[in-house]
Chain A
């Protein structure tokens, strides 16, 4: 039963236009980013940064370097937005439209239905992140070609450069990690969607929660408790580019996020299981 419900949830996600907006928006954003990189001033800035650090521009201003820049600059804002849109809709929109009531006329358990929906959301988030990673890489390679990888993230304290193939390996691993860490957006969106609220409210609350978390983390006053913020752990993917990968930190971040993800999903499900569904 769960497998059938999951397949149907995926089918509904694929068939809805809204689900595709995220994919289209990222392609548009990537094109815009490449156009921005083409501006002489921006190019000069990157070239200056590389040469100042003794790195050959032609070698390190490569497709993988551009791909990492695209992902790093877009994922938190647009990724959060589109994942929150889908996760916030997954239960609340069906409750609003009345299809949930139709589904629950059937001998299907609420728990199974919600698990299927949560899994479908998680699948969508993974697919979106992997698509972003793949399309950013494809665009980067088309624009700058094959070469070594250079990563510079002052906020996370990462400065690294890698030969082409190891660099690509790091990039793929980072995208896979990102697909896991962004599940927190999914879990928060899903939780709000299970409450008795409009789908737009669930999306807005998810985004608001994530941005408040980010802003507080960035506030110097809270520096001593940074490890309590979700976005701190969500940013762990960038550390995969460090010369020596901090595996313990990576594992800690993933476990921390997984615990919260399960908590958010459990809170949403627990509320929904007690909730009256009214027409």
Chain B
């Protein structure tokens, strides 16, 4: 759905994005992760034609977005962290203004989308009277109006209460599953990304550090839980055999590459120890993200 090749953008002497390649497959929910200044917003800005890249190419749905922005964005919706609207106009009027930049939309469709995002009761009110949550819903409504194939969302749940976060997440998942919408999501909330995304990319200082499916994350890295009775005895045996590389607490150990949980359990059982728990430790997305970002930093 999105194919970015060699994208580079600088603001004066500061490099914002340094020649990244990124592919967002159709029908996926793709999380773009990174600290502030990592280059996420610049990448999205180039994708939407707000920013002019110094180098590289961007294709959306097979169309060169830099050469034919109109065709490339024909079925793209976008939501920003702090959506801006015409405060002095009603929600409905705002929807019409934004929608008509793509194509004329009948009132029935505007009202239908307002109902989908739960704004039907207040859609005739002035936006100046809307709460933050209502603005986010209106932003989602305007993004859905071109009947998009691709939705670009920047911090969609920012500032929402837990119920609002749940509703937006449920709605995004519904749109992805029922309408095969591809979603590119930029977020700081790793827990949200973990619940929503099928794929992620991690950026740091304009470089892409990781890109791939969530299911393919290298989450174990050799760490296991090995809980035996008496406690700690198994670790001594593993160390004596040269299989133990690192230990945290009594029951968290990192084994030498090539040595698995079954090997460690076999050693413990052979020594007559009672094994109470033995399994690989899966890193959370947060742990993976921090390790990726800081590992790169340390390197």
Contacts and interface: CB of A to CB of B under 8 A. Distances in A.
Interface of A: 4-5, 8, 11-12, 15-17, 97-99, 101-109, 113, 274, 276-279
Given A11-B97, A103-B97, A108-B101, 14 more contacts: A4-B104, A98-B82, A102-B78, A102-B83, A102-B84, A102-B142, A105-B152, A106-B101, A107-B74, A108-B70, A109-B69, A113-B101, A274-B52, A279-B41
A107 B74 CA distance: 6
B46 to A, nearest CB: 9
A108 B89 CA distance: 21
B49 interface: yes
B51 A277 contact: yes
B138 to A, nearest CB: 11
A37 B69 CA distance: 60
Contacts of A15: 86, 88-89, 93
B85 A276 contact: no
Contacts, number: 86
Contacts of B78: 102, 105
B80 interface: yes
Interface residues of B, number: 36
B39 interface: no
Interface of B: 41, 45, 48-52, 69-74, 76-78, 80-86, 88-89, 93, 96-98, 100-102, 104, 142, 146, 152
A274 B50 CA distance: 10
Contacts of A98: 80, 82-84
A16 B86 CA distance: 9
Contact of A276 (B45, B72, B96, B152): B45
A55 B271 CA distance: 127
The CB with the most chain B CB atoms within 10 A, among A8, A101, A102, A278, is that of A102
Given A98-B80, A102-B85, A107 B102 contact: yes
B86 A106 contact: no
A105 B84 contact: no
